[in-house]
């Protein structure tokens, strides 16, 4: 039986529950104590009035229980319902901007009332499409502006650096901070591992305002931002590369790569000396040869490097319908189906009389 603990004053429920770490399902990786403290100090210095924690329970726990700033957690893990009232937690899917409860948006509006400076902190799954996460950010920002048009909003989006270009496409105001985000229970991206975390903080807060720890970072005068000590400023890229290892600039790729990589014409990119060449190269979006993702007809309608006729029938579109989010009618039906299943689950099992 599920016992409510909302009245017990539990402030760190993420330490009591086993994390959902199945990559095939709900992979739930929690920030390390160092990362939690860094983000907490970053938020505290900006003196926000409200913090909206989307998929970041550790940050929510650092501020919950206090008077200021107010914090609300939106998370896919419904186990938090045992610990938090609906005023500070809502069961939420960030990929579809979907509240599982009908009054979820009502509680969000109540929370955002009298909001002046709002922080939106997102930690989506790394496999999530940047397009749909960016869409959810835009909708949450619109809700804040609808309640208070003069509210200041700062976004913190946690994502790997090799996906930064996709963030720039949907949220061009967000810039990458070089701070390496680490997780407590991730098998690779944790402190002490030989493989350093590629996860970074993307924000529209000026990077010059963010002070990184002195033990692992330095200040780049040209970038006017903190960077790892191993990183050297690239005059061709006009920035410090996000790779926290020795790098070199590849003219063909038009970016910095690891210094032991070389450009492979067959793969059309820089690879290690020992690697399996892709033959032929396939588009990551439509899985068809002859063009790259950036020239895919699904999105751009570009037929110079690939023809529309080579794309499967079920994917022939301008790219929008292929990644369309659920409609309001579909969301409504999903809520009804969820209510029906919950109602059936609460019904007592019928006793079957054994034949004498």
Output the DSSP codes for 3-41: ---TTTT-S-GGGTSPP---TTS----PBPHHHHHHHHH
Tell me if residue 105 falls in helix, strand or coil.
helix
- Beta bridge partners, 54, equal 74, 122
CB atoms within 10 A of CB 8: 10
pLDDT of residue 337: 72
Q: pLDDT of the chain along its 356 residues, tens only?
A: 333 444 444 678 887 777 766 544 466 889 999 999 999 999 999 999 999 999 999 999 998 876 679 999 999 988 899 899 999 999 999 989 999 999 999 999 999 998 999 999 999 988 889 999 999 999 999 999 999 999 999 999 999 998 998 999 999 999 999 999 999 988 888 877 777 889 999 999 999 999 999 888 999 999 999 998 888 899 998 899 888 778 899 998 888 888 888 888 877 788 887 776 765 556 766 666 666 666 677 665 544 444 444 444 444 433 333 333 456 676 677 667 767 766 776 666 444 444 44
pLDDT of residue 6: 46
CB atoms within 10 A of CB 149: 7
Q: Are 78 and 28 in contact (CB under 8 A)?
A: no
- Angle, CA of 218, 221 and 224, to the nearest 5°: 85
- The pair phi, psi for residue 295, each rounded to 5°, is -105, 10
CA torsion angle 163 165 169 175 (round to 10): 100
178: nearest Cα among 243, 249, 254: 243
- Angle, CA of 40, 45 and 48, to the nearest 5°: 85
Q: Are 278 and 287 in contact (CB under 8 A)?
A: no
pLDDT of residue 46: 92
pLDDT of residue 278: 60
pLDDT of residue 34: 93
pTM of the model: 0.74
Q: Are 135 and 157 in contact (CB under 8 A)?
A: no
pLDDT of residue 50: 95
Q: Are 248 and 256 in contact (CB under 8 A)?
A: yes
| Torsional sign, CA 110, 122, 155, 35 | positive
pLDDT of residue 246: 81
């Amino acid at each position: 039986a599920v016992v409510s603990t909302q009245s017990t004053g539990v402030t760190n429920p993420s330490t009591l529950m086993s994390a959902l770490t199945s990559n095939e399902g709900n992979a739930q990786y929690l920030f390390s104590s160092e990362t939690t403290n860094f983000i907490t100090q970053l938020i505290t210095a900006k003196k926000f009035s409200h913090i909206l924690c989307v998929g970041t329970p550790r940050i929510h726990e650092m501020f919950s229980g206090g008077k200021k700033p107010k914090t609300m957690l939106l998370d896919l893990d419904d186990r938090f319902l045992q610990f938090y009232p609906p005023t500070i937690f809502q069961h939420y899917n960030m990929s579809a901007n979907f509240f599982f409860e009908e009054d979820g948006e009502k509680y969000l509006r109540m929370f955002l009332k009298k909001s002046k400076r709002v922080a939106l902190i997102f930690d989506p799954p790394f496999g999530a499409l940047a397009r749909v996460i960016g869409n959810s950010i835009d909708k949450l920002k619109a809700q804040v502006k609808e309640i208070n048009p003069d509210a200041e909003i700062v976004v913190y989006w946690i994502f790997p650096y090799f996906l930064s270009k996709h963030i720039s496409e949907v949220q061009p105001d967000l810039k990458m901070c070089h701070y390496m985000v680490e997780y407590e229970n991730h098998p690779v991206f944790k402190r002490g591992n030989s493989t350093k975390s590629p996860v970074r903080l993307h924000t529209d807060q000026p990077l010059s305002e963010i002070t990184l720890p002195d033990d692992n970072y330095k200040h780049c005068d040209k970038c006017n931002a903190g960077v790892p000590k191993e990183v050297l400023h690239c005059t061709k890229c006009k920035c410090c590369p996000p790779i926290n290892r020795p790098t070199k600039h590849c003219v063909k790729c038009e970016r910095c790569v690891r210094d032991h990589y070389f450009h492979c014409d067959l793969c059309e990119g820089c690879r290690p000396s020992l690697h399996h060449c892709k033959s032929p190269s396939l588009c990551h979006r439509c899985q068809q040869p002859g063009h790259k993702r950036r020239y895919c007809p699904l999105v751009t309608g570009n037929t110079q490097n690939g023809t529309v006729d080579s794309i499967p029938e079920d994917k022939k579109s301008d790219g929008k319908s292929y990644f369309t989010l659920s409609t309001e009618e579909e969301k409504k039906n999903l809520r009804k189906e969820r209510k029906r299943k919950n109602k059936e689950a609460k019904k007592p099992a019928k006793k079957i009389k054994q034949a004498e």
